Structure 1
Amino acid sequence: MIKWIGAILGMVYMRWPGAILGFLLGSLIEAFLKGKQMKGGGGAFQDIFQQQRAQNVSMGDFELNLLTLCSVVIRADGKVNQRELDYVRSYFVQSYGKERANATFKTFNEVIKNREIEPQRICAYMRSRTSYEVRLQILHFLFGITQADGHISSAELRELQKIAGYLQINRRDFESIQAMFVKSADATSAYKILEIEKNATDAEVKKAFRTMAKKYHPDKLQGMDEAYKKGAEEKFLKVQEAYEQIQKERGM
């Protein structure tokens, strides 16, 4: 399409020589854009986006990749839980609006649902387009899905560990977010949230709190959708609660 527009404009301004030049430049631009799209979206999703354009569905491929990743977590334990599905739908509606969320779910159900999904490839796509803070929020959201039915199974936890690895989220950050959802039997959840050991000094506890409060501050997600900011606020509050719990235990 671009090459023909170039040819027409060239014809208008420079007649046949301009038409030829415009056609060649347009062809180069199309080749560049196609290569960029293949590199960014991933070949596995190329036909999906072509179908979206044919249906005139206006949505970002980020939502589609995120929803696909959600399906991996939901099906990790071999069953599909309605409360987990409702949690995901509510999140998407809150983030992107009802119309856009419905379009994303429709495309997923029609094109991707029964295909083999490669979480590693999807995470590589997200990793190349998001900051580390946003990836932490994605992991927080995925943990929220598994907690929607009140229980995180070992299969779901293993899948989350793999996804965190694909997203290049470090072990301490993973354990910190995990501790916000899963209370440890040895009562060290508050310390894990602050990413410190239980034998840390009071000074180390205070320093860890300042570090984690800064890391999870909602201002880190400026420009992101409200649902992401809400998740950041939840993590920020968990950090504060963990610090207050340790303060109370130690009489700080």
Structure 2
Amino acid sequence: MFDSASSGNRDRLIGERQEYRRRQQNAYNTRGSRTQQQPKTQSGDFEVSLLILASIIIKADGKQDQRELDFVRQQFNSMYGSERANHAFKLFKNISKQNISTRQVCLQIKQMMDHPSRLQLMHFLFGIAKADELVTEDEVRQIYTIAGYLGINSRDFESIKAMFYNSSENAYKILEISKSATDDEVKKAYRKMAKKYHPDKVIHLGKEHQQGAEQKFRQVQEAYERLQKERGF
């Protein structure tokens, strides 16, 4: 999938997705009207995408912070277990040594990954940037660039970015509304965002990715509850 990634560990991590792709494409071809649909992202694709984009973000401010590296390892341990995470981290270290074309990689990801999965990627990248307790301007610019290449619009970008800052203003941004919104508009926005970020949207990635999706969903709920409390409805 990714020309910039090394082949050794990568093949082990995503070997099965090629067989899945063949089976799924055959299934689509036999359904006529569904032939043009995009296959949903699989865990192996998502995993390699995380590794490549994580390496780009960690290098965005010109240095590799150990806390950010620890965050990646911790997240992979949590999602995949220690054995699979160790293999993934070896691949990650190989990727980190390479000069990767951000645009080329992101366009490949956009082509094969559905929108909810790309939103989940963005959430993970901000988590890496925040791991050292400071999201630098260089990191924000890099994530914004990645978002553009991935086809993530500015409202979705600002919504996910706001999840990593604690203020009532960011509660509005998470729900993609302005402070001038009426109470009814706040409620409507919450229902819309709860649907957009519901963990079921990425259930096809496997249970290992549900934790991150659930965290994103909780942040939407917390933003709404904060505005409920402030506005008294």
| TM-score, scaled relative to structure 1 | 0.74
> How far has the Cα of 1:221 moved from its partner?
1.3
> How far has the Cα of 1:251 moved from its partner?
1.4
Stretch deviating more after TM superposition (141-150 or 100-109): 100-109
2:51 corresponds in structure 1 to 67
Matched, 1:154 2:160: no
2:25 corresponds in structure 1 to none
Counterpart Cα distance in 2 of 1:78 and 1:92: 23
Counterpart Cα distance in 2 of 1:69 and 1:116: 12
2:228 corresponds in structure 1 to 247
1:165 corresponds in structure 2 to 148
Which runs of 5 or more structure 1 residues have no equivalent in the other structure? 1-40
Matched, 1:93 2:93: no
Counterpart Cα distance in 2 of 1:222 and 1:156: 28
Counterpart Cα distance in 2 of 1:150 and 1:177: 17
Q: How does 1:215-230 map to 2 (within 5 A)?
A: 215-230=196-211
Letter in 2 for 1:234: Q
- Larger radius of gyration between Structure 1 and Structure 2: 1
RMSD of aligned C-alpha atoms?
Answer: 1.9
Identity of aligned residues (%): 51
1:201 to 182, 185, 204: 182
Letter in 1 for 2:82: K
Matched, 1:180 2:180: no
Q: Specify whether residues 150 and 199 from structure 1 end up closer, same or farther in structure 2 by C-alpha distance, changes over 3 A only.
A: same
Which structure ranks higher in relative contact order (CA pairs < 8 Å, sequence separation ≥ 6)? Answer: 2
Q: Specify whether residues 97 and 200 from structure 1 end up closer, same or farther in structure 2 by C-alpha distance, changes over 3 A only.
A: same
Counterpart Cα distance in 2 of 1:214 and 1:154: 30
1:135 corresponds in structure 2 to 118
> How far has the Cα of 1:230 moved from its partner?
1.2
| TM-score, scaled relative to structure 2 | 0.80
> How far has the Cα of 1:123 moved from its partner?
1.3
Letter in 1 for 2:80: Y
Matched, 1:78 2:78: no
1:58 to 5, 9, 12: 12
> How far has the Cα of 1:109 moved from its partner?
3.2
2:91 to 99, 102, 107: 107
> How far has the Cα of 1:42 moved from its partner?
4.3
Q: Which runs of 4+ in 1 moved over 6 A?
A: none
Q: Are 1:218 and 1:232, in contact at CA under 8 Å, matched by a contact in 2? A: yes
Q: Are 1:190 and 1:242, in contact at CA under 8 Å, matched by a contact in 2? A: yes
> How far has the Cα of 1:154 moved from its partner?
0.8
Q: Are 1:179 and 1:190, in contact at CA under 8 Å, matched by a contact in 2? A: yes
Is the partner of 2:135 in helix, strand or coil?
coil
Letter in 2 for 1:129: M
1:214 to 191, 195, 199: 195
Is the partner of 2:230 in helix, strand or coil?
helix
Counterpart Cα distance in 2 of 1:65 and 1:237: 24
Which runs of 5 or more structure 2 residues have no equivalent in the other structure? 15-43
Letter in 2 for 1:58: R
Q: Are 1:58 and 1:100, in contact at CA under 8 Å, matched by a contact in 2? A: no
> How far has the Cα of 1:93 moved from its partner?
2.2
